[in-house]
Amino acid sequence: MKALTRTLCIGIAALLSAAAAVAQDIKERSIKFAFQNQKGHPQAEGAQKFADLVAQKSGNRIQVRLFAGGTLGGDVQTVSALQGGTVEMTVLNAGILSSQVKDFAVFDFPFLFATPQEADAVVDGPFGKALFDKLAEKNLIGLAYWELGFRNLTNSKRPINKVEDIAGLKIRVIQSPIYIDMFNALAANATPMPFPELYPALEQKAVDGQENPFTLIRSSKLYEVQAHLAVTRHVYNPQAVLVSKKLWDQLSPAEKKIIDDSADEATKYQRELSRKQSDEALAELKKVGMQVTEFSPAEMQRLREKVQPVIDKHTASVGADVVKQVQAEIAKVRKP
């Protein structure tokens, strides 16, 4: 009897939610949400949480369809699809948006953030919101910032214990000028490449290595084609959750509220999951046989010094005022 009563209550609640959705001018819609990572990765799990929340809040009238693993193309291609309205949503490294608004490049600066909490303060505050505001004229709407985490270096050739060990390696990097300059400054051969092409490129030895957070190395099974992992934490990636302006302009105020509220709730869930999984992923990568090395404090300082000219170069192109704004926000968090 209790089970029957519970089932009836759930059914009634769903009917009431659907009725309320109609009353609030919520239309039946299908939203394509494309991203690069696989099921199980915090990015994919955050997208699933968002989809569930939207369905719940809209009385199942708005359905978010997930396209994981780069099935609709790489990040750059997906951004173009959003601008054209053929894909409605994506989540990607915020720095990639520098091709749309140059200020976003600051998120790719090496060693900018020391902790995820510093990044949260910047992206959730006035600076992050101001950057999102600049995307509207590019036919993109920023909803929230998720987390990919700290990037670390892997390769199939040798352990990396010092800066010189990076020299000569052909490293796949994301399609961003800062990443190309960073690894070229370390005497590597930086090779920009869309993420869907990465695993086969590593498997076929077209590239020697790549750099990504532990969670992605695990979820995409890069350990199958990479033997060595160096814990460098050279860049922390906030991720931008975007919706096509073409879709956004069609939504009623009630529909926009559902999307906004769902994005806010999914953001809290996604960040917590990402941070929890990071340590778990590193332990698992060790367990499956990756050789993990860490730089000494002195060697980390040498790494920072090697990439400082890259920071200086891109500070000039992004704008010293933009960099100062970010540094000021970080300084507030670091105050004792």
Tell whether 319 and 288 lie within a shared domain: yes
Tell whether 138 and 159 lie within a shared domain: no
Q: How many domains does the chain have?
A: 2
Q: Quick one: average pLDDT of 6-28? A: 62
In a domain, 193, yes or no: yes
Q: Show the domain range for 255.
A: 27-101+118-147+238-277
Tell whether 186 and 245 lie within a shared domain: no
pLDDT, one tens digit per residue, over 129-157 is: 999 999 999 999 999 999 999 999 999 99
In a domain, 125, yes or no: yes
Considering only CA atoms, which of 157, 220, 151 is closest in space to residue 182?
A: 151
Alpha carbon distance 249, 247 (integer Å): 5
Identify the pLDDT of residue 336. Answer: 74
Cβ count within 10 A of residue 84: 11
pLDDT, one tens digit per residue, over 204-247 is: 999 999 999 999 999 999 999 999 999 999 999 999 999 999 99
Over 80: is that where the pLDDT of 7 sits?
no
Alpha carbon distance 140, 146 (integer Å): 17
pLDDT, one tens digit per residue, over 262-290 is: 999 999 999 999 999 999 999 999 999 99
Alpha carbon distance 90, 72 (integer Å): 10
Q: How far is CA 178 from CA 129, 207, 229, in A?
A: 23, 19, 22
In a domain, 16, yes or no: no
Over 80: is that where the pLDDT of 1 sits?
no
In a domain, 108, yes or no: no
Tell whether 73 and 213 lie within a shared domain: no
- At 231, list the tokens: 């814990």
Identify the pLDDT of residue 335. Answer: 81
Q: Quick one: average pLDDT of 252-258? A: 98
| 242 beta partners | 90, 142
Tell whether 93 and 140 lie within a shared domain: yes
Identify the pLDDT of residue 203. Answer: 97
Tell whether 179 and 327 lie within a shared domain: yes
In a domain, 291, yes or no: yes
Tell whether 136 and 203 lie within a shared domain: no
Q: Which DSSP symbol is given to 32?
A: E
Identify the pLDDT of residue 20. Answer: 55
Side chain identity at residue 63, one-letter code: Q
What integer best gives the mean pLDDT of the chain? 93
Q: Quick one: average pLDDT of 66-76? A: 93
Radius of gyration of the chain (CA): 21
Biggest alpha carbon–alpha carbon distance for the chain = 71
Tell whether 66 and 173 lie within a shared domain: no
In a domain, 257, yes or no: yes
Residues of the chain with pLDDT > 90, as a percent, come to: 88
**What are the helix (H) ranges across 155-197?**
177-185
Q: Quick one: average pLDDT of 159-188? A: 96
In a domain, 13, yes or no: no
Tell whether 128 and 259 lie within a shared domain: yes
Tell whether 59 and 176 lie within a shared domain: no
Side chain identity at residue 202, one-letter code: L
Tell whether 71 and 157 lie within a shared domain: no
Q: Quick one: average pLDDT of 167-180? A: 94
- Asked if residues 190 and 184 have their Cβ atoms less than 8 Å apart, the reply is yes
Identify the pLDDT of residue 175. Answer: 84
Identify the pLDDT of residue 119. Answer: 96
Identify the pLDDT of residue 176. Answer: 86
Q: Quick one: average pLDDT of 146-175? A: 96
Looking from the CA of 127 toward its CB, the CA atoms found within 13 Å total 20
Task: End-to-end CA distance of the chain: give it in Å, rounded.
Answer: 58
Q: Which DSSP symbol is given to 38?
A: P
Over 60: is that where the pLDDT of 21 sits?
no
Residues of the chain with pLDDT > 70, as a percent, come to: 93
- CATH number for position 96: 3.40.190.170
* Secondary structure E strands in 213-290: 228-231, 236-244
Tell whether 129 and 163 lie within a shared domain: no
Alpha carbon distance 142, 244 (integer Å): 9
- At 213, list the tokens: 């957070």
Q: How far is CA 93 from CA 140, 150, 227, 242, in A?
A: 15, 12, 25, 11
Regarding pTM above 0.75, the answer is yes
